[in-house]
Amino acid sequence: MNVLMVIEPHESPAFSERMKDTALDLLTSQGHEVHVVSFHDEAMVGPPRRGFVPGLLETEPFNQQPLRQAFHSERTLRHPLQQTVNQVDPFDWADVVLFQFPLWWFLSPPTLRQFRCRVGEWCRHRGESRRIRKRAMLVFTTPSQEPLFGGREREVSCMLRPLQEDVLYRAGFDVLAPFIAWGVDECGEWERADMLRDYVHRVARLTETEPVFTHRRPIPRPNPGRPNGWDTEPAFA
């Protein structure tokens, strides 16, 4: 199994690194191939930009629409740093993707919001494919304990739904329930050790866990043989 880990450093770098190393050691010991990228790497860029076209001058007009269509078929149009794993896009290479970053109030890393634009480009491409469905899981640390999330700040499940459903699900992922390490800055060492044990338990069962969002909705396909010109046979991303 190919696993991609997307990591965002934050105020508790020691614990963040321990979470990453714990998952990395477990997955590699199980025989999986793991690749780690940062939220700031080019692998997280949005839709094709002017810099994706070699030789295009600043004074020349830039039409993004045809470039979007060619982006999935013409490898030469991709930024070289996007070809980081076996000469393919890391997100096409991965069977499972773990996104690890701190959850501060309503905020997610700006690069993840930019990644949302890229998901929009993927949606049709992945929806029309017959590839095996991929899985994704959000992994969070929080500065506060669980009881402080709620009320005016909303429940965490409400805060995460746009990320889980509108970003990951639309990209074709089966979305697993998130793993949340609560209040890491306020915890003792024994509590952090318990969190790491719980994380190991979740990571060890990535392929067995029942998704909270499963990519099984029918996707319309052009079909001239039907009265309305479309069919709705399921197409799995």
Between CA 144 and CA 138 the distance in angstroms is 18
- 74 Cβ contact partners less than 8 Å away, ≥ 6 residues apart: none
Give the three-state DSSP class for 87: coil
Residue 212 pLDDT greater than 90, yes or no: no
**Closest-CA residue to 172 (of 96, 72, 78, 100):** 96
> pLDDT for 72-93, tens place per residue?
555 444 444 344 444 566 777 8
pLDDT of the residue at 17: 86
Please give the share of the chain, as a percent, with pLDDT higher than 90: 20
Sign of the Cα torsion 45, 72, 223, 174 reads: negative
Q: What are phi and psi of 119, to 5 degrees?
A: -60, -40
Coil, helix or strand for 1?
coil
Q: Which residues fall within 8 angstroms of residue 80, CB to CB, at 6 or more apart? A: none
Correct CATH for 2-51+65-231 of 3.40.50.2300, 1.25.40.10, 3.40.50.360, 3.40.50.300: 3.40.50.360
Residues 154-198 have pLDDT tens digits of 577 777 887 788 777 777 788 999 999 988 888 888 999 999 999
DSSP codes, 113-169: HHHHHHHHHHHHHHHT--PPPEEEEEEEE-SS-GGGSSGGG--HHHHHHIIIIIIII
**pLDDT value, residue 173:** 81
pLDDT grade for 132, boundaries at 50, 70 and 90:
low
Residue 105, C-beta contacts closer than 8 angstroms, at least 6 positions apart: 153
**pLDDT tens sequence across 17-38:** 899 999 999 999 999 999 888 7
**pTM given for the model:** 0.71
